[in-house]
Structure 1
Amino acid sequence: MLSNRQLFLLNTAQTSHSPRLIEIERAEGVYLYGPNGEKYIDLVSGFAVSNIGHRHPAVLEALYDQLDKYLHVTVYGEFVQAPQVQLATKLLSVLPDPLNTVYFTNSGTEATEGAMKIAKKYTRRREIIAAEKAYHGSSQGALSLIGNPEYHRAYAPLLPEVKFIRYNAIEDIDRITSATAAVILEAVQGEAGVRVPDADYMQAIRRRCDETGTLLIFDEIQTGFGRTGELFAFMHYDIVPDILLLAKGMGGGMPIGAFIANKAVMDVITENPILGHITTFGGHPVSCAAALASLNVIVDNRLTEGVEQKAEAFRRYLQHPAIREIRGLGLMLCLQMDSFTQVERISRYCAENGVIIDWFLHCDTALRIAPPLTINDEEIRTACQVIRDGITYAQQSG
């Protein structure tokens, strides 16, 4: 009889030639557990998904409660479903004006796609500007916004009239013109290796968009829901985007995303043509119930208030001469190393010794650290010791 690992390699699509092949039997809090007693501290959070930890009791309770009522009933936007209504109401209560209308999706990529559509239709323009080394998803439209030609070539042609600027480069801002429908930026560039912009830059982008009638789309798919120490990272910059993209940490472990805009912008999908943007499973009632519970945990327990202190603990415990730089905002951190060989060895050593870390799509010389916001000091100290040992191991084996 074949093992799960063998069946995984045989029957499921592979995204690389060297998958981790770590089998997970269960998860709880900041820990993942394997079938043979393995125990791992999860410093990746399912890629910024499990912000309140795995299987939080409040999320489980919300899931069980909704399972007893109904699952999918119809396509999004037709029936009044309490989990969707309650989640949208709660989200808008913690967001500033003019963000006052929510469209729920299944994922961050779908949120990106919806945002591009409403931006182009509302402005009646076609050009979209994104940033070099950006990542906004992998569908054809979202892929067009990835600022790395290596990921375009195999899938060309992609969307026309997409242009790129350098992230955090004020001198590029004049490329935004009255022909630009939208500028889409990550609030912190994630897959580029956690690049935190200057507040002055973001404010200048906001002003330029206002001057040219361009919509500003903020991708907070990785940064949202407390990851950076604010509920949403745009709050660090004292600006408000026209369209906000959310996913990952939104659902407490369940798949869900959203794009949020002013009603005047969002309403363009209601006519010419009617049903201008539709989804069957977007805003699934079970995912919405989980997302509402997760958001309530973050807000009611003030989880953002401990983020910076925990980030400083990582910086304090991760002192090692081989680390070139620690970049980040809140619990979205990056350890800059010298080479991918180092990063791969460190990552493998950590996994073998009970700590899950990873690297970045556009920056494979750095290590990703994005633990659940609920991680405590003892867990941080333990994980950092393993990482330091892994760095030493990588040096000795090099």
Structure 2
Amino acid sequence: MSIDLNKEVVPTTEKTDVTDYIHKVLSLIEKEQVTEEDAKWITQQTVEGFREHVNPGFLDYRKTVTKDTQFAAVEWSDGGSCFTDVNGKQYIDCLGGFGIYNVGHRNPKVVKAVTDQLNRQALHSQDLLDPLRAMLAKILADITPGDLKYSFFTNSGTESVEAALKLAKMYSERTTFISTTRAFHGKSLGSLSGTAKGMFRKPFLPLIPGFRHVPFGDIDMMRKTFETCSLVGEDVAAVILEPIQGEGGIILPPDNYLKEVRALCNEYGALLILDEVQTGMGRTGKMFASELYDVVPDIICLAKAFGGGVMPAGAVVAKEEVFKSWFENPFMHTTTFGGNPLACAAAIATIGVLIEEKLPERAAQVGEYFLNGLREAAVGHEDTVLDIRGKGLMIGIEFHQDEIGYEVSKGMFDRGVLVAGTLINSKTIRVEPSLTISYEEVDTVIKTFKEVLAQLDK
């Protein structure tokens, strides 16, 4: 038996320390309730771990929504429309993981489906045919708009956008894409090329070539860009749009805008990709926001709430004519974990809950009630609040200044309601609670918003 003398030997004491630490962490996970001493240790380890091993920038970020720079929210458990921090304080979650928890936190039907599948098989072999992927794809073909038929499964929104862009390129061999200002499609290189925010883009330039950005909602500029691209031999492969811009500040499209974009795509032989990562799965009052505007895309991108707030999951669903470019070689674009059995079980259960409990319809009703209540609360505070807008339970509150938005976020957080400014437009805070949120909880949020505005205007 030979010994590698160059191999670094880890001292036994170091291994023991790591093992003890692992056992302590696992024992805390196992507990249904943590003690006050446990909570202090968890908080200390969390803050220290972020500072030394994750990213200290997150600690500065948290100061925008915590009181006196205290890291008050080390989250520990959740359920329904709320989450609870390690000290036992409960918050109504109106951020919703940026739109993840459409069916609520730890929806029991979704948790059961995932647990049942976990008891049978967690991940698939990557070689044999896995049944839940086929079954979920059939369900998506049934519920998505128009003649969308074939699905490719991913783990996140940016992966869904990446897949859609590659699919569009293979379909026509064109390389020009049109996106819009204030758009957010993700942060991997392809999707970042479609994203509009310069702060995210500049450090990584040059990005994928061929992307052009036009003002969102400006159909004349969209038309001129199509015409120009055609004249110079750079025909458009696809337009990629969010039906309602989320990170951009809950920006609603002008009347008929999406239909006119659809018509331009048809005229110039381009595809229409709708990024419904945030607007899909019932958020806006329909299962998909494209249904609000009576538009059928060639490719639709899904993620966030697609996994039911339990599993990371996403999908791209496309028309057969578009998707068949991947028929000849299904390994042209793959992902190890996309469409895994646990994620598919979660997505199937999520769709079942959305349909059976009529959550899209409920989002429309509760959303209207929520919007009206927030607008009434803002009466008399027009110097502070610029606009309140939205569809379903995708609501944006825009202020005259960034600083006001942050102060409102902090004030509501201190009173047990979590909201957040958007990544693109910090003047706007988003309200995206679970679609299961009760009217009583909505009233609490409205009351809290009114109290914070009154406090700021003193």
Q: Which amino acid aligns with 1:289?
A: A
Task: Give the 3-state SS of the residue equivalent to 1:341 in structure 2.
Answer: helix
Alignment pair present for 1:328 and 2:390: yes
Task: Give the 3-state SS of the residue equivalent to 1:100 in structure 2.
Answer: strand
Judging changes above 3 Å, is the alpha-carbon distance between structure 1 residues 90 and 274 closer, same or farther for their aligned structure 2 residues? closer
| Structure 1 residue 394, shift from structure 2 partner | 3.1
Contact 1:71 1:286 in 2 (8 A): yes
Q: Which amino acid aligns with 1:193?
A: G
- State the match for 2:131 in structure 1: 82
| Structure 1 residue 171, shift from structure 2 partner | 1.0
| Structure 1 residue 315, shift from structure 2 partner | 2.1
- The 1-side partners of 2:368 and 2:319 are apart by 36
| 1:149-185 superposed Cα distances (whole Å, 9 cap, x missing partner) | 2321111110111101111112112212550000000
| Structure 1 residue 262, shift from structure 2 partner | 1.4
Alignment pair present for 1:3 and 2:45: yes
Residue ranges of structure 1 left out of the alignment (5+ in a row): none
- State the match for 1:287 in structure 2: 343
- State the match for 1:247 in structure 2: 303
| Structure 1 residue 344, shift from structure 2 partner | 1.1
Q: CA RMSD in A?
A: 1.5
- How high is the TM-score relative to the length of structure 1? 0.95
| Structure 1 residue 16, shift from structure 2 partner | 4.6
Taking only the aligned residue pairs, the percentage that are identical comes to 35
Contact 2:145 2:291 in 1 (8 A): no
- The 2-side partners of 1:269 and 1:197 are apart by 32
Bigger radius of gyration, 1 or 2? 2
Contact 2:155 2:337 in 1 (8 A): yes
Contact 1:347 1:390 in 2 (8 A): no
Judging changes above 3 Å, is the alpha-carbon distance between structure 1 residues 351 and 259 closer, same or farther for their aligned structure 2 residues? same
- The 2-side partners of 1:197 and 1:314 are apart by 21
Alignment pair present for 1:144 and 2:193: yes
- The 2-side partners of 1:340 and 1:10 are apart by 30
- The 1-side partners of 2:115 and 2:330 are apart by 35
- State the match for 1:176 in structure 2: 226
Residue ranges of structure 2 left out of the alignment (5+ in a row): 1-40, 63-70
| Structure 1 residue 284, shift from structure 2 partner | 1.6
Match of 2:177 among 123, 128, 139: 128
- The 1-side partners of 2:90 and 2:393 are apart by 22
- State the match for 1:352 in structure 2: 414
- The 2-side partners of 1:96 and 1:133 are apart by 25
Contact 1:137 1:143 in 2 (8 A): yes
Q: Which amino acid aligns with 1:91?
A: L
| 1:311-362 superposed Cα distances (whole Å, 9 cap, x missing partner) | 1222232222232211111110001111121111111121111100001111
| Structure 1 residue 309, shift from structure 2 partner | 2.0
- The 2-side partners of 1:261 and 1:103 are apart by 9
- State the match for 2:79 in structure 1: 28
Query: Which of 82-91 and 366-375 deviates more?
Result: 82-91
Aligned length: 393
Q: Which amino acid aligns with 1:276?
A: M
Judging changes above 3 Å, is the alpha-carbon distance between structure 1 residues 90 and 181 closer, same or farther for their aligned structure 2 residues? same
Query: Which of 64-73 and 79-88 deviates more?
Result: 79-88
| 1:182-217 superposed Cα distances (whole Å, 9 cap, x missing partner) | 000001011111111134111110111001000000
Alignment pair present for 1:96 and 2:145: yes
Alignment pair present for 1:105 and 2:154: yes
